[in-house]
Structure 1
Amino acid sequence: MAASKETRIQYCDLLTPVICDECDGQNDVINYCLQCHANICGECKSTHLETRLHRDHIVLPRTHSEVVKARRSKKIYCPAHIGKEFVTYCRKCKQPCCATCITEKHNGHKFCDLEKVISQTESDVDSLVKDMETKIIPLNEESISKLETHISLYKKSLDDVKISAEKKKLQHIEGIGKRYSAFLSDLEERGAKDLEKMDIKKKEIERNLGNVKSAITTGKKAAVDVSLLHVKDELAEVVAKSMNQNHVMCPGILFFCPSSFHLPSEHETIGTISHFYEEPISKLSIQEESRGAMKSDSDQSTMEAKVFIIIGGFYASSIIGTHDNMWIYNERRSEIDIYDEFFTRIKNIDINFYCSDMAFYGEDSVIAADRSACRIWLMTRSGSITHLPYIKLNCPCICVNDKHQIVAVVTDYDDNILEGEHCMYWNIFVCSFNDLSILQEIENTFSGVYVTQIRQTLNGEYIVAIDNRLVCLSREFESLWTYEFEDRKYAFLGGLHCDKFNNILVGDWHRNEIVLFNIDGQRVRTLLTEEDGICGPLSMDVDSKGRLWIGQRENVLIATYTT
């Protein structure tokens, strides 16, 4: 307890800092006056003993046994009135008083028994000391131990993040190197083919030049008789042939237009650092049979997508992901390009059909719907292409369901009727891949003009994009719900994907948006817009790393897709 200088007294060294009573604590206290009960520093000791009133006082070190005994004595003297013991305690001023103090400064105040106050204070101090020994100290020691453990874990995680970032940097460098290597390899192959064609053409013209010179010689030496008529015909034929062969279409002069990989700019982060908590968020099981248990296990309000790479030169009307690769149909070039996880093209497959849709079948196999020839083709990453016999269906879209069966949306109408935008009825065919037999046929499932894609959700339902509508069908192909984009008619919905969170992603061709729906057909939010680079979405799928690939009429966008 600390009061004014006149009444200052230390009850407990544990709670009150010990300061010098002579110089107000400017120096460390090392002495104690047995008569004044005052704490005195080394410099104030001589000054204290030189005064007339204090000449007979005994000043000893604070650690001296007599000092310890005196400080523990219940007889406490008033420092303001020499030789006067404290006799009572002032409640108002909350300090002990001697008889003189009562009459001088505490007149009219209420007092209580000093011994009781000291006894209660001693009990309080003992209780505080006990709490500190039994609670505060163990708590602090435990906190220090936990903090040391966390610091160790944090340092390890810091090193792990550095290693992961460095690894990712090397992967990006390697990936970019692979892309340029593939580009240079394609360039070399293309250049060799073009040069070979031009060399062959040059040799043809050289041979023709020799024939022309020989014909000229023959014409000059021809006899002027009936044989001259035959010579004339030969010369005319040589001239005509020479004119045709001199019509040369050479490849254009090459120039390099580098594509932007759209890596983060200097003002953007190259990644995020996540904090891991001890209690993971529980996920809903996808093994539940009831449809109610198959709600989206993610908070759709927090779903985000951000474009970070753009690959140009595509009219990507169909995209499908396999275990490690992404297959992209480039309608403009009538070819399939296969990309790896580093966004490097590892394979190019030329096809001679219009691929209206693709579906992952297993391992490195993909099936493709051929709208032009009403066939379904099986393609492998090695480049082999074989059509499935006995299946001749006019199907613009297909998928492989969870029973490993081919589900196709088909129509009996020809393309010229489709182009005329006549409303037609669409049927569903379910085919067995093993014996290629049609297991199920559902006629007149729905009507419309443009059916772009059919995909299956986690709980086995089917989502079909047709005209300006999304149609949800049960496993038995019964209609469950329909969502209609009311601000358009016969709008082309470009791209459809059912993700692992049981959400539905739809490409809106009309508004240039990627829209998120829940499993009940409720529109949740817009993930990407024109500001993100969405322009004419045609197809989409998610790769093995959880990245969203969006095929468009001019390029392919790759976006992060997270909660």
Structure 2
Amino acid sequence: MSFESNQDQSDIGAQDVVRKKLATHRCSSHPSIDLSIFCRQCNKLICPVCITHEHQQHIMCDVKTIHHEKLGILADKDHLITNKFIPFFTEESSKLDKILVTHQDHCGKMKLKIEEHDRKFKEEITKRTNALLQTFENYLHTTNEEVKNRKSKLENKLSNLKKNHEIIDQIKESDDIRKICKTADDMLDYVSNVNISSAPLPLKNKEYKEGNIKTGIISSLIGSLQPITLPDTAQVHFKVLKTYVTDLDAIGKVISKEKTWIKTSTGSVLRKIDLHDELRPLWEKKIQVRDIAINSFGDVFLAIENNPQLKIVRNGENEIKDFYKFPKPSFFGKRQVPVALHWYKENQILAGTIAKEANTETLADNVQRQLVCLSEDQQQLKVYECDQDGKRLFNFPFRITSDSNGDIVFLDKLSNQSGRIVSMTTEGTIKWAYNPINGTRSGHLFDPWDIVVTSHDNVIICETRNNAFHVLNCDGQIMTCQQTDSLGIKYPASMDINKNGLLILGCGTEYEQTAKLHTLEFKGC
């Protein structure tokens, strides 16, 4: 048996609670004795006699100690409810209101276009025109119903959160330790089951395309409806929360899960670090790494410079081991070497590859380049290279990620100073490509260096030379473009989204050994 003394603790909020004399309760097993001890292992109040029976060797504490701890838990969970959950779901409700107004405005404009076009040949095509109008009415009705249903669910969640907030306020003043313990346990279960993931807004709608009134075909005279995605009403914001200064010249890659891994762009440093109040190095290796990926178990995969052997560092270990070696071609040609990596669909790894010893700055047309999907047991599942017409899908797959639908999103380097972002289905069909004619600065080409996909399937792109973020929606349409200078960030070069939903951003320098690592909060995407 281990018994904890009633030490003066300072758990969150508990120290501010007015101390009251607690009501006493009798033991159900020993009715003449008060419940004066709390068994941590069984999570219940017991009496001194109970200790000699089924609670031997258990860890215990007195009632005052557990009372203080449970009040601290209640204060902590109440803080989460009032300062995080309620504001979050209130904002979600507001976003739905705004997108509904956007749909109403859009549908109104489209209906006016249809009505104006209908006026020109009303007698011949009234029936079909009315059908098109009804389509928008139905579409708006469907959207309205969806918004109403989702708002109703949000209101229920908000109502439950507020009720639990009131329950906590009431129970904090109670002298009934059993009620306090039960309520604290209930709130632990309740808060752990609160899901604050943001569901995508209903952005899908139709666009009316006017027909050619010179043709004799009625369907083309009336026009047709084309699927579009309305602009997201949410404003995209970035905010720097923390900045760390390293002794590196540039952070060419960052992966942040339980721990954070970084590698230099030009040097030969691979480093495992811990990010808290200060940056704390945990492990380092001198090795030229092209890219890094990490799986759900914490195993780290490494693409080594000009090396066909894909490496792995198992979670909890510091030894770099072989994982998979890209095979020799059957006839002519060179082995493929991995240059970009991404952990895909929980049990696969995507590797962007080029022929060994190829000059990545000026890839010759005859140099083979592929995107290879490997299984956990090191089997090649699929290889992407060309489309159905034999046209090459990409020039140089520099970075790879994916969205919630399993579509592959990759950064395709077109030259040493330009690139594009491409979304491709698992069948190898290009869905969209983003390649603005100019970068964010006059006279500069669009030169992306890393990409991440958010929980809403929006894409964040960083441009190192142009000091910019580009944010695209799930259809590859631009949502915003922001200069990072306004955030105090220069040369953004690598990104990842950590388990807390924060953007971890690695930067370059002008040849100094002071590359920065930033933690950013982002909203609206």
TM-score (structure 1 length as normaliser): 0.46
Question: Higher relative CO (CA 8 A, sep ≥ 6), structure 1 or 2?
Answer: 2
Return the index of the structure with the highest Cα Rg: 1
